[in-house]
Amino acid sequence: MTTRPDLRHILFDSATRLIPKVFAMMLFVIGSLLLVSVLTPIDPDVMPLVERSLPLGLVEFSHAIGTVIGVLMIFVARGLWERIDTAWYMAIALLSAGAVFSFTRELAVVPAATLAICAMLLIPCKSAFNRRSNLLSLSVNPVWPLVSLATLGFIIWLGFFVYKHVPYAQSLWSNFSYHANTSRFLRGVVIILVTIVLLALYRLFGIARRTPPMPEAEDMEQLKAVVAEASNPQAWLALLRDKHILWNDDKTAFLMYGVSGKQWVVMGEPVGPRAETVALCWELKEMASMANARLSFYQISPSMLPLVLDLGLWPYKVGEEAMVDARTFDLAGKKGYGFRQTLKRFESLGAVFEVIAPEALEPHMPRLKAVSDAWLKTKSAKEKGYSLGSFQPDYVRLTPVAVVRIGGEIVAFANLWPTQDKTLLTLDLMRYEPGSPPSVMEYLFLQLILYARDQGYGHFSLGMAPLGGLDAKPLSRAWYKIAAVIYQVGGDFYNFAGLRAYKEKFKPDWQPRYFAVPGQEAALMPALMAVVALGAKAPKKREGVAEQR
């Protein structure tokens, strides 16, 4: 009983994919033949009937419009191939208009009837053209422009070949008569070239609208309002303004993504109501498809897996996030002995932990900047981007900052990412002065977990352990084996094992994080390189607003 619906679904899906291709080729061929018909002489046997039945002005006008229709058919065929809904509307209009003007040009009954029949065949196939896009902002696929221009060039050459016996004269351009076939051809060539130039100019000035721009200063308040309601603290990364923001119509939900070549990488999970974020994911998939780009989702939780699978993406585990249950965290017993010693040692040093509210940060910014610069210099590092914050004053001022003072001087700090529902608290930047006492970050972590507990948060996140928890079995996929090797021997570049072991001291719950890409390992590697490239982009200053990382 279940196989029949499945078979119908398979057949419908196959037809949905095949029909646009068939009609695209049909429209391309019809457009080419229409141009050949327009640019070649009217049949001498039909000419007497044309002279008696059609006014000369109508014949000339029909030739000009027929030329434009033929050129547009060739270019709209690309939209049908891509299943764009506006191309479906345009194709029906062009076929219908072509039928009318074929008849009013030279009483071409058979071509007119053929065009009308093709339009009627296309009408019931609307469901196969379900992609919403701006037809003239399609990405440049070299095959279509080359084939289209080559076809138009051949048609023009064919016209010159047909009329090669007619000597050129300036008067040909202004000759209007039923038998002035050469003059109509010359004017038709000009119409073809003008149509192509207009399409190219529209694309040149309209293509920038294909992807949303980076958020501007006026977008920040709307972003802050939505981020403040988010239950996923990664939403704060949107306020760095280094990623494109795709909004829903009501601006109650968004997703953020970076572009590196043909890779479009969504950072984290969409923000906002579930129904709205699902629609945004599908919208971005369509946009990426139209731009001939490859869409992926980086650092997503297991709750996103059903959606990314529906989107046709393949999830790969890229690490685990350390989540400490703040409600049950305590320092009692043998397991808390080391932590109690750390707290006592820093208390003896006169260390003070404090969380500074955003509105009270301004007097402390110079010192925070000095600590950050010293930390970067010691690590021989520079600011990263995309999936991490960087020290940009306007960004740091957005959220509370936890600091450790010794002798009244700030020696370590971390900016916090709070969530309004208090399900989770985490941190972004972690910086400390090189001369500060050992284990200062452990002291800061302990104080933050206790702070999260006291403030009523459910969990405190210590962040990801990249490549952690990827067990390579004999039958595991290639990625797991590659990741396991990198995890074990990559210590010279990044201390994967040491970072996970450090966070393990806090006895967290390890939750998997995935990278969903459009394919298997061959698609994963370019997507990972895109994340690296996006993270390596230097921060760019923006006057008066949060700066890019």
Output the DSSP codes for 97-120: HHHHHHHHHH--HHHHHHHHHHHH
Q: Are 369 and 493 found together in one domain? A: yes
Interacting residues of 182 by C-beta distance below 8 A, sequence separation 6+ = 163, 166, 172, 175
Which residue positions in the chain have pLDDT lower than 70?
1-17, 130-142, 202-213, 217-218, 490-494, 538-549
End position of a domain, from candidates 159, 184, 210? 210
CATH number, domain containing residue 285: 3.40.630
- Residues 533 and 549: their CA atoms lie apart, in Å, by 13
Sheet containing strand 352-356, strands side by side: 244-247, 254-260, 263-267, 294-300, 509-517, 314-325, 459-466, 424-432, 409-417, 401-406, 352-356
Q: Are 234 and 333 found together in one domain? A: no
pTM over 0.85? The answer is: no
Q: Are 181 and 235 found together in one domain? A: no
End position of a domain, from candidates 184, 210, 236? 210
Q: Are 22 and 130 found together in one domain? A: yes
Q: Are 367 and 485 found together in one domain? A: yes
Number of domains in the chain: 3
Q: Are 255 and 163 found together in one domain? A: no
- Residues 424 and 435: their CA atoms lie apart, in Å, by 32
CA torsion angle for 23, 28, 34, 40 (degrees, to 10)?
-150
Question: For residue 61, what are its two tokens?
Answer: 């006008």
End position of a domain, from candidates 168, 191, 210? 210
pLDDT at 448: 96
The tens digit of pLDDT for each residue in 304-313 reads 999 999 999 9
Q: Are 204 and 76 found together in one domain? A: yes
For 501, the domain range is 321-512
- Residues 229 and 57: their CA atoms lie apart, in Å, by 66
Q: Are 250 and 286 found together in one domain? A: yes
Q: Are 285 and 347 found together in one domain? A: no
Q: Are 149 and 53 found together in one domain? A: yes
The tens digit of pLDDT for each residue in 410-453 reads 999 999 999 999 999 999 999 999 989 999 999 999 999 999 99
Instruction: Provide the pairing of β-strand 459-466 with 294-300.
Output: unpaired
Q: Are 43 and 54 found together in one domain? A: yes
pLDDT at 106: 86
E-assigned strand segments in 176-228: none
Q: Are 204 and 219 found together in one domain? A: no
pLDDT at 542: 46
- Residues 213 and 211: their CA atoms lie apart, in Å, by 6
CATH number, domain containing residue 334: 3.40.630.30
